Amino acid sequence: MLRILRLIAGVILVLIGLFALVTPLTPGAWLGLIGLELLGFGFLIPKKIRRMWKKEQASPLL
């Protein structure tokens, strides 16, 4: 269920981002990049940073 919601949100954000690219008064083209990130393309957050973040999330706070 969560995977389907991520897919839908990603596609919607990509479409909004593409629309923002062709309209001159819309400053939301970055939404397309966020949508691609939700769909699994690693443009914004490189794999190295993701791995480091997951390690920090898994380790307990002292």
17, amino acid identity: G
CA 45 from centre of chain: 8
Share of the chain above pLDDT 90, in %: 0
d(CA 21, CA 32): 9
Domain range list for the chain: 2-58
Q: In this model, does residue 55 exceed pLDDT 80?
A: no
d(CA 14, CA 18): 6
Q: In this model, does residue 32 exceed pLDDT 60?
A: yes
pLDDT bucket at 42, cuts 50 / 70 / 90: low
Q: In this model, does residue 17 exceed pLDDT 70?
A: yes
Q: In this model, does residue 30 exceed pLDDT 80?
A: no
Q: What average pLDDT does range 38-55 have in this prediction?
A: 71
Rg of the chain taking only CA atoms, in angstroms: 15
20, 25, 30, 33 alpha-carbon torsion, rounded to 10°: 10
pTM of the model: 0.54
